[in-house]
């Protein structure tokens, strides 16, 4: 929800005639900070709205669990001029890329990417097997025809030093690093990392460190042999996008989609900083990276695009107490020399303690509760994916049933038209996941990759 400053006085007048605590708290927060629940930027800046809502603003004096739903929206009228790009492509050339014509499709995809570059863009191309080779060092592309001929000479061979290729991609991007540029490494692989650094946590730390420099990472997994946990984790740590490319003939269209996405970046390396109230603890940010200590927590968002919407479900542990507690304040941070936010979007949410159980039920936000229940179901789907990885298909099926039970038990399905529809949609997804796993094929790799990607998108609203 976006509230403009011009509405404040009118709302305050209307509140004088009501005793509703929730409205009074809402308007009180506006009086303290007119940008509490979202904001509109001046016409010279892109408009980004940040909103936070609790599933219920009331809680027992004994405390308990509350769910904070954070929505981040770059409004659909945000369409900035195309920014200069600094793109490094890291291409797997290991022997398995010869299968199913994957290398030929990759060459075609790179041809299309080259065609989308303009004269001021920076580009580099790194190819890797067990050896890392900088085929085209970071610079402007002056002769696209010559570069395409260079790409056509790439052939498959050797093993997969994914970590070495990724690190060289970051090095090339850093050579022309500018915060006003869109700085992105695109990593494409069809196999398991089996040379060089192979530890997922170590590779994620590298991607996270480079994201802090405003160099984001997109990962593209091709076929069935690659490690989707690694590729999802790297994209999450690197603040870019993740693609599962089951059929290599779609490589060109997905590469084009990624480049089109880069052309409308409005904020780089964005993050939501949460300041927690006294005694409030973040138990989880479902499906998302998060880090913090004590009263401060940070949720990395990555790059934001025009007409982009993200949602995050934060599980909060609320201490016992009385009166009113500021549960959390959130503010959006981002890196951009070109788009310096005049006032950063922010929100504040409050908890009101009560001994009246009926007041808690009466004041629940059922739309927000529905989103929280859907998020809880996606967390259980993650357990199913872990069970598949560990060769326990029966446990995976049981986890999917448990995910559905969470939604069946949700009163929001009956109390909210919008929330009920969203819950029904998620239940249909869960049925589809179960059917996919019960397919006749004994090879669960494709099923697991497609389910994991869909669950990832549901969690992030990507």
* Residue 43 pLDDT > 60: no
pLDDT at 209: 95
For residue 307, the model assigns a pLDDT of 86
pLDDT of residue 76: 58
pLDDT band of residue 266 (cuts 50, 70, 90) is: confident
- The whole-number pLDDT of residue 9 equals 38
Distance CA 313, CA 55 (A): 10
H runs (alpha helix) in 43-180: 102-116, 144-152, 162-175
Let me know if residue 286 belongs to a domain: no
pLDDT digits (tens, 9 = 90+) for 416-453: 999 999 999 999 999 999 998 887 566 788 999 999 99
Q: Domain total for the chain?
A: 3
Between these two residues, 13 and 124, which has the higher pLDDT value? 124
Do residues 197 and 319 both lie within one domain?
A: no
Question: Which residues, in sequence order, are bridge partners of residue 73?
Answer: 49, 309
Q: What pLDDT, on a 0 to 100 scale, did the predictor assign at position 33? A: 39
Q: How many other CB atoms are there within 10 angstroms of residue 291's CB atom? A: 12
Q: Is residue 51 part of a domain?
A: yes
Domain range spanning residue 342?
5-77+301-360
pLDDT band per the 50, 70, 90 thresholds, residue 19: very low
CATH code for position 339: 2.60.40
Whether residue 192 contacts residue 209, with contact meaning beta carbons closer than 8 Å, is answered with no
Whether residue 92 sits in one domain with residue 51 = no
Does one domain contain both 61 and 102?
no
- State pTM to two decimals: 0.84
| Contact yes or no for 71/332 (Cβ under 8 A) | no
Q: Which residues pair with 74 in a beta bridge?
A: 48
What number is the average pLDDT over the span 398-409? 97
Mean pLDDT (the chain) is 86
Confidence check: pLDDT of 31 > 60: no
Residue with tokens 């507690």: 325
Task: Residue 145: give its domain's CATH number.
Answer: 3.40.50.410
% of the chain beyond a pLDDT of 70: 86
Confidence (pLDDT) at 342: 54
Q: Across 248-252, 313-317, 455-459, which has the greatest mean pLDDT? A: 313-317
Residues 402 and 353 in one domain: no
* Residue at which a domain ends, from 235, 263, 291: 263
Per-residue pLDDT tens over the stretch 71-122: 999 875 555 577 889 999 999 999 999 998 899 999 999 999 999 999 899 9
- Whether residues 94 and 241 share a domain: the answer is yes
Distance (Å, rounded) from C-alpha 67 to C-alpha 7? 28
Q: How confident is the model at residue 77, as a pLDDT?
A: 59
Q: What is the mean pLDDT of residues 157-186?
A: 93
């Amino acid at each position: 929800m976006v509230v403009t400053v011009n509405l404040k006085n009118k709302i305050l007048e209307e509140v004088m005639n009501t005793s509703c605590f929730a409205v009074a708290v809402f308007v009180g927060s506006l009086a303290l900070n007119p940008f509490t629940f979202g904001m509109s930027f001046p016409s010279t800046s892109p408009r980004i709205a940040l909103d936070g809502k609790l599933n219920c603003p009331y809680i027992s004096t004994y405390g308990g669990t509350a769910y904070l739903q954070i929505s981040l929206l770059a409004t659909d009228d945000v369409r900035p001029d195309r920014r200069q790009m600094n793109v490094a492509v890291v291409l797997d050339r290991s022997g398995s890329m010869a299968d199913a014509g994957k290398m030929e499709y990759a060459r075609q995809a790179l041809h299309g990417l080259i065609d989308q570059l303009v004269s001021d863009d920076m580009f580099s191309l790194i190819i890797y097997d067990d050896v890392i080779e900088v085929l085209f060092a970071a610079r402007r592309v002056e002769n696209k025809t010559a570069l395409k001929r260079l790409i056509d000479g790439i052939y498959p061979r050797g093993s997969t030093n994914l970590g070495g290729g990724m690190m060289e991609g970051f090095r090339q991007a850093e050579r022309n690093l500018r915060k006003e540029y869109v700085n992105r490494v695109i990593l494409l692989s069809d196999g398991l990392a089996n040379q060089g650094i192979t530890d997922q946590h170590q590779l994620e730390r590298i991607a996270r460190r480079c994201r802090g420099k405003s160099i984001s990472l997109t990962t593209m997994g091709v076929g069935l042999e690659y490690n989707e946990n690694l590729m999802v984790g790297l994209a999450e740590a690197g603040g870019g996008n993740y693609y599962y490319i089951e059929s290599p003939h779609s490589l060109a269209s997905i590469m084009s989609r990624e480049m089109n996405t880069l052309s409308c970046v409005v904020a780089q390396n964005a993050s939501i900083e949460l300041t927690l109230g006294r005694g409030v603890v973040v138990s989880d940010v479902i499906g998302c990276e998060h880090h913090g200590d004590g009263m401060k927590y940070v949720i990395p968002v990555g790059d934001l695009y025009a007409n982009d919407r993200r949602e995050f479900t934060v599980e909060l542990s609320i201490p016992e107490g009385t009166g009113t507690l500021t549960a959390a304040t959130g503010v959006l941070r981002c890196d951009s020399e070109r788009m310096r936010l005049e006032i950063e979007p922010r929100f504040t949410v409050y908890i009101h303690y009560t001994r009246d159980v009926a007041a808690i039920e009466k004041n629940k936000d059922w739309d927000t509760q529905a989103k929280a229940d859907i998020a809880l179901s996606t967390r259980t789907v993650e357990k199913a994916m872990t069970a598949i990885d560990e060769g326990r298909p029966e446990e995976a099926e049981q986890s999917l049933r448990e995910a559905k039970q969470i939604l069946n038990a949700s009163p929001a399905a009956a109390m909210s038209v919008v929330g009920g529809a969203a819950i029904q949609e998620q239940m249909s997804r869960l049925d589809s996941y179960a059917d996919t796993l019960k397919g006749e094929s004994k090879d669960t790799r494709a099923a697991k990759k497609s389910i994991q990607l869909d669950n990832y998108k549901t969690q992030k609203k990507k």
